[in-house]
Amino acid sequence: MSNNVLVVAEIRDGAPKKITFEMLGEGARIADLLGGHVEAVALGHNIGEAAGILGHYGATKIYVADNDELEHYTAEGFTNVLSGLIKEIQPALVLLGATTTGKDLAPRVAARLAVGLASDCTGVAVEDGELLITRPIYAGKAIATVKETFKPHMVTVRPNIFPAPEPDASLEAPMETIPADAGEVRARVVDMITEAGDRIELTEADIIVSGGRGLKAPENFAMIEELAKTLGAAVGASRAAVDAGWKDHSYQVGQTGKVVTPTLYIACGISGAIQHLAGMKTSKYIMAINKDPDAPIFKMADYGIVGDVFTVVPVLTEEFKKMKAEE
Ligand SMILES: Cc1cc2nc3c(=O)[nH]c(=O)nc-3n(C[C@H](O)[C@H](O)[C@H](O)COP(=O)(O)OP(=O)(O)OC[C@H]3O[C@@H](n4cnc5c(N)ncnc54)[C@H](O)[C@@H]3O)c2cc1C
């Protein structure tokens, strides 16, 4: 078993996703404490260029599995290739994103290797050479510290928790082509339908403006979208707004929706039910706009405006527009 950390890169549309850089940064820190290096593996088709970028973010070696059978993610194909590599190189720790793909892939790989998995990690410490992994449990009501007894340790990492290092184009890492035989794949991807337009993905957004039942009607989401557009933010929604049919489920933030960790989360007409908080309480800054001064969201908020969303949101949008025009 080596002391190295292996980061499983996520590549989309020919480029690594931000979570990959965040894992490389954190992976390098942990590898340092363990006395090893951070390495990366990229799976896909025609991904040589994207894989090369991983070196600029600190990967000291890049394993590349390039094959047309890996063009689209499949749990079976990716598990076959990845578990083969892990058995071969024996890293101390494997990091995957707690993303749609990572949440699907990591448990399957862990089962194949007969090891444990700590999912949705928000912190890692090393004590006496042992890894202590921090992860929220009970919908974020408590934080557990987990010590994995199996090796290699496997962890999925919550996006937007760890800072991504600044890229350094002078850093180059050797690339090694690894066997890319997907093996027997019973499920095949026949089509990929991307969400409309250039909508910012909630789990990757730096700023999110979310609307709840306080918006009263679906057409009133237009002012949330306007504020979001002004800030370059993603739009989110509470379950009440989704259940009412004002937004589809892909917008829902919370226990049964998406877990988000933006720098700024603006909750508009959202009460702050525990199930909503479970999806956004690890945001760096929370701003709430609610006409009820006793709304629970204010207990969690860094900035609170007690007021009517129909008055406050348009004023905010105008003010931000003015600020941007002056930039
Ligand atoms: C198993 C389970 C899972 C769940 N999962 C989720 C989940 O993933 N995500 C989620 O969001 N919820 C989830 N819920 C539902 C959750 O309990 C709440 O019902 C929901 O979050 C409420 O949404 P809301 O805050 O938009 O609505 P409400 O609780 O009705 O709050 C509306 C808020 O708007 C304010 N308001 C009204 N008018 C105005 C105005 N003009 N200006 C300013 N403020 C105004 C009110 O004061 C109020 O605080 C779940 C529930 C269960 C049981």
197: confidence class by pLDDT, cuts 50, 70, 90: low
Whole-angstrom distance, CA of residue 300 vs CA of residue 281: 7
More confident residue, 13 or 2: 2
Q: What integer best gives the mean pLDDT of the chain?
A: 94
More confident site: 42 or 199: 42
225 has a pLDDT exceeding 70: yes
Angstrom distances, CA of residue 38 to CA of 28, 41, 151: 5, 10, 17
Protein residue closest via CA to atom 18 of ligand 1: 273
pLDDT digits (tens, 9 = 90+) for 45-100: 999 999 999 999 999 999 999 999 999 999 999 999 999 999 999 999 999 999 99
Out of 220, 239, 260, give the residue to mutate to test ligand 1, the one with the largest number of ligand atoms within 8 Å of its CB: 239
Sequence-separated (6 or more) residues with CB below 8 Å from residue 100: none
Cα separation, 62 vs 6, in Å, equals 9
Which residues does ligand 1 sit against, CB inside 6 Å?
Answer: 212-214, 238-241, 252-257, 269-271, 273, 275-276, 279, 289-292, 295, 308-310
Return the residue whose CA atom lies nearest to atom 26 of ligand 1: 212
pTM of the entire predicted model = 0.84
Ligand 1 centroid to residue 241 C-alpha, Å: 8
Of all atoms in ligand 1, which is nearest to the CA of residue 274?
A: 17
**Which residue's alpha carbon is at the smallest distance from atom 38 of ligand 1?**
214
* CA atoms in the 13 A half-sphere facing the CB of 139: 13
* Rounded distance from Cα 211 to ligand 1 centre (Å): 9
Ligand 1 centroid–CA 275 distance in Å is 9
Side-chain-facing half-sphere of 49: CA atoms under 13 Å: 5
**Rounded distance from Cα 229 to ligand 1 centre (Å):** 23
